[in-house]
Amino acid sequence: MSVPLTLLGLLEREPSHGYDLKRDYDMYFGRGKPLRYSQVYATLSRLARDGKAIAGPVEQGAGPERRRYVITDSGTSDVERWLTEPAPPEPDLQSELFAKVVLALLLGRPAGRYLDLQRAAHLQRMRELTELKRDGEPLNVLLADHSIYRLEADLRWIDHTAARLDLLARAVRP
Amino acid sequence: MTVDRPGTETITEARNLFLSFGETPALRGASLTVRRGESVAVMGPSGSGKSTLLHCLAGILVPDEGEVWSGGQRLDTLSDDRRSALRRDKFGFVFQYGQLVPELTAEENVALPLLLSGTRRGPAMTAARRWFPALGLDGLERRRSGELSGGQAQRVALARGLVADPEVLFADEPTGSLDSVAGELVMELLTAAVRTRGTTVVLVTHDARVAAYADREVVVRDGKVSTLTGVEP
C-alpha cells in the first residue's frame, strides 16, 4: 500500500497537520501497524518538495511540528488517478505457502501434511475473524471480510493443490 | 442468554461406518464424535462422502457396517419407524434448497415438525410465528415458498429446523444456493439461534466461510474422516 498517496488522499479532505493525518491513517489503515511520526513528516516533506502539497508556516504551540499542509492540484490529480488504477492483481505470487509446497515436493518431504496444517491454521483465523465481525462495527466488518475472502482464496488453492500433489511431485522431481 | 458450550458429553457418534451405493463406496471407515452443544463443520471435496456421513448420523441412511449412536442410543439397529420417530423428536434439518412444501404457507412450513409430532394446530402455529421477527421474516408468514426469495426461503427452512427445539441440527450446505450476503445472514442467524439454545450442529459445507461459523471442522476424504492435523500425505 502506498503511504504517500494514502496520506495525500487524507489531505484532500482539508488542510491538515501531520498529527491529524497520522491519527486518521492509524484509525482507518494502521490496524496494529501505526505510522511513526518521523515517517509522516518525512513523507509530507517529500510531497511538498515534489509539488503535491504545500507546507504552511510553522505555527506556535507545543508538541510535534505544527505545520499545516494543503494539497495542490497536482496532488489531487495523483490521488484521483491512483483511486481509479487497479492494484497489481498478482500480489502474492511468491507467497510463503507456494514456496513451502514447492520446496517440500523438491525435497520429498510431506507436502500434504503441511497443507493440512496450513488449512487448519487458515480456518482457525477465519473463525476468529468471523467472531470479530459480530461486534458489527462497519469498518471492522469490512476489514475482517477482506481478510476472510483472501484466506478463502488461499484455502481454495490449498485444496486444489492437495488434490494434485502426486502430479506436482512428478513435475518438480522428474 | 447463551448456553455454556460445548460440553464434554457425546451426543452423536459415527463408529467406523461403511456404506456403498451399488458398487460405489461412499463411506470407508468413517468415524466422528460430536459433543453436546458444539458445532462441527464437515468439509471435503465433492463425492468425498460428507453428505452421506451426515445422512447416517441423522438416521436417514443406515450404514452397511459400523454403528451410529445418538444420545446413548444406537440408531442403525432401530426399526424404520423408531428411527423416524427419533428423527422427528430429536433432530432438525436444513438442506441446500430449503425444500419447503410449496402448497403450505411459510408459517405452516415452520409449524410442520410440531404438527407431525402431534402438537395441536393452534399452539404449533403460535410457536411457528414467533420465529418470523427473529429471522427478519416479519410479514411473510402467509406467503408460499414460490413468493419468497432464496434467502427468505432458507430462513424459513432454518426456523422449521429449529422450531421443535431439536437436540441436533443437521445442515447440509445450508447456504449453497444463496449469494454471499444472503448466505452470511442465514449463518449469522443460525449461529445466534443455536448458541442461545445450546443446540448441537453438524454442518456439511464445502465453503470455508460457512465452516468458519462452526467451532471446529473435520475433512472427509475418500469416505473417511480426517481431522486437519496429523494427517500424513
DSSP chain A: --HHHHHHHHHHHS-EEHHHHHHHHIIIIITT-PPPHHHHHHHHHHHHHTTSEEEEEEPS-SSS--EEEEE-HHHHHHHHHHHHSPPPS-TTTT-HHHHHHHHHHHHT--HHHHHHHHHHHHHHHHHHHHHHGGG--HHHHHHHHHHHHHHHHHHHHHHHHHTTHHHHHHHH--
> In the predicted model, what is the mean pLDDT of residues A44-64?
86
pLDDT of residue A90: 66
Distance CA B5, CA B196 (A): 10
Say yes or no: domain B10-226 is CATH 3.10.20.600: no
A154 contacts in chain B (CB < 8 Å): none
A126 phi, psi to nearest 5 deg: -65, -35
Round to whole Å and give the CA distance between B154 and B174.
7
What per-residue confidence (pLDDT) applies to B7?
Answer: 63
Are A126 and B208 within 8 A, CB to CB? Answer: yes
Q: Give yes or no for a contact between B38 and B215, defined as CB atoms under 8 angstroms apart.
A: yes
Asked if B40 and B203 touch (Cβ cutoff 8 Å), the reply is: yes
B230 chain-A contacts, CB cut-off 8 A: 113, 116
* CA B191 remoteness from chain centre: 12
Q: Which of B148, B233, B219, B198 is nearest to B7 (CA)?
A: B198
**Distance in Å, alpha carbon of B227 to nearest chain A alpha carbon:** 9
**Cβ of A163 and B232 within 8 Å?**
no
pLDDT at A170: 86
Question: Which amino acid would we find at residue B18?
Answer: F
Contact A117 B229 (CB under 8 A): yes
B12: closest CA of chain A, how far (Å): 23
Span B152-196, pLDDT tens digits: 999 999 999 999 999 999 999 999 888 898 899 999 999 999 999
With H, G, I as helix, E, B as strand and everything else as coil, classify residue B181.
helix
**Is B217 in Cβ contact with A123 (below 8 Å)?**
yes
- What's the pLDDT tens digit per position in B62-95? 999 999 999 889 999 999 999 999 999 999 999 8
Return the pLDDT at A106: 86
Walk across the sheet containing B224-226 and list its strands.
Answer: B91-94, B168-172, B200-204, B39-43, B216-221, B224-226
Distance from the A132 Cα atom to the nearest Cα atom in chain B, whole angstroms: 11
Residue A31 has pLDDT above 60, yes or no: yes
Q: What is the mean pLDDT of chain A?
A: 88
DSSP character for B147? G
> Of B76, B43, B52, which Cα lies nearest the Cα of B203?
B43
C-alpha cell of B169? Answer: 441440527
Phi then psi dihedrals of residue A13, to 5 deg: -65, -45
Contact of B177 with B157, CB cutoff 8 Å: no
Provide the pLDDT for residue A98.
86
The whole-angstrom separation of Cα B36 and Cα B44 is 23
Contact A116 B45 (CB under 8 A): no
Residue of chain A whose Cα is closest to the Cα of B229: A117
State the smallest CA–CA distance between residue A133 and chain B in angstroms.
Answer: 10
Name the closest residue on chain B to residue A169, using Cα atoms.
Answer: B233
Nearest to A112 among B213, B229, B233 (CB): B233
Check residue A103 and give its pLDDT: 84
Q: Any idea what DSSP says for residue B78?
A: S
Among chain A residues, the shortest Cα distance to B212 is held by A127
Torsion from C-alpha of A46, A51, A57, A62, nearest 10 degrees: -30
Contact list in B for residue A159 (CB cut-off 8 A) is: 45
pLDDT for B205: 95
Please tell me the pTM assigned to this model: 0.82
CB-neighbour burial class of residue B209 (10 A; exposed 0-12, middle 13-18, buried 19+): buried
This model of the complex carries an ipTM of 0.81
Residue type, B111: A
> Strand B91-94 to strand B168-172: parallel, antiparallel, or no bridges (unpaired)?
parallel
**Nearest residue of chain B to residue A136 (CA atoms):** B188
**Do B228 and A117 count as a contact with CB atoms less than 8 A apart?**
yes
Residue of B nearest to A156 (CA): B208
Contact between B231 and A113 using a beta-carbon 8 Å cutoff: yes
Report yes or no: B83 and B146 within 8 Å, Cβ to Cβ. no
Sign of CA dihedral B30, B35, B36, B37: negative
Distance in angstroms (rounded) separating the CA atoms of residues B115 and A161 = 48
